[in-house]
Amino acid sequence: MKGFPNYLVAFALMAMACSIASAYDPAPLQDFCVAASTSTDAVFVNGKFCKDPKLVNANDFFFQGLNIPRSTANQPGSNVTLLTVDQIQGLNTLGVSLARIDFAPNGLNPPHIHPHATEIFVVVKGTLYVGFVTSNPDNRFFTKVLNAGDVFVFPIGLIHFQYNIGSTDALAFSGLGSQNPGRVSIAETIFGSNPPINANVLTKAFQLDKNVVKYLQKQFSSNNI
């Protein structure tokens, strides 16, 4: 940089470094965060308020009862018990959460997305057919049959599922890389939105008969009552 004073070069490099650093937004912990113009109609998001450390005790980091089987007497035949910052307040800002997933025989944890977290899944009991699909345009399907002790990873933001193909109940646990992993259940979100999406949109998008769309909307509308 002949001809330029050193301090100017240093300044230009610093400015470049700053613009690189600020090219990223912090990863959101909620679906959206609409800007509020005054503090009176604002809430604190992307984490929660912090408790005064003097008042924190061991119970803020504790949960009891994840050993108890959950009821799978429901349509999909599965039950997800999620421990997020809402159940264990001590998780605030720490970037992890935990789930227990119970499966009846033929039970399915239906295709869904965690918008904020990668998931690492371990089978404790039973035999599960699991998989995830990558984004467009490849839509590659990565799948495995898992037995007790087997571990599988579902990358952040990708559609994935777990299906019990064994003859017994199945049990699995998951670690998730967010205090609030979020969940978008594909069928529920699309066919059970509140209010419903215009059936013409879904008819065209899914290449279905409109009556099938209306049937599906009816099946999933109970989620919103």
Ligand X SMILES: *[C@@H]1O[C@H](CO)[C@@H](O)[C@H](O)[C@H]1NC(C)=O
**Sign of the alpha-carbon torsion through 13, 18, 19, 21:** positive
Nearer to ligand X by C-beta: 174 or 213?
174
Three-state secondary structure call for residue 143: strand
Nearer to ligand X by C-beta: 19 or 75?
75
- Contact yes or no for 85/92 (Cβ under 8 A): yes
Q: Which of 29, 77, 79, 98 binds ligand X (CB under 6 A)?
A: 79
**Sign of the alpha-carbon torsion through 149, 154, 155, 156:** negative
Residue 93 engages ligand X in binding (rule: CB under 6 A): no
Nearer to ligand X by C-beta: 82 or 165?
82
Min dist CB 177 to ligand X, Å, is: 24
Stretch that binds ligand X, among 36-44, 66-74, 129-137, 177-185 (CB under 6 A): 66-74
Nearer to ligand X by C-beta: 40 or 71?
71
Give the number of residues in contact with ligand X, rule: CB under 6 A. Answer: 4
- Contact yes or no for 142/131 (Cβ under 8 A): yes
Q: Is 191 left (phi over 0), alpha (psi -120 to 50) or beta?
A: alpha
Q: Which of 6, 19, 64, 71 binds ligand X (CB under 6 A)?
A: 71
Nearer to ligand X by C-beta: 40 or 194?
194
Residues in contact with 163: Cβ distance below 8 Å, sequence separation at least 6, in sequence order: 106, 107, 108, 109, 128, 129, 130
Q: Which of 74, 135, 143, 168 binds ligand X (CB under 6 A)?
A: 74
Phi, psi of 26 (to 5 degrees): -65, 145
Min dist CB 102 to ligand X, Å, is: 7
Contact positions toward ligand X, by CB under 6 A?
Answer: 70-71, 74, 79
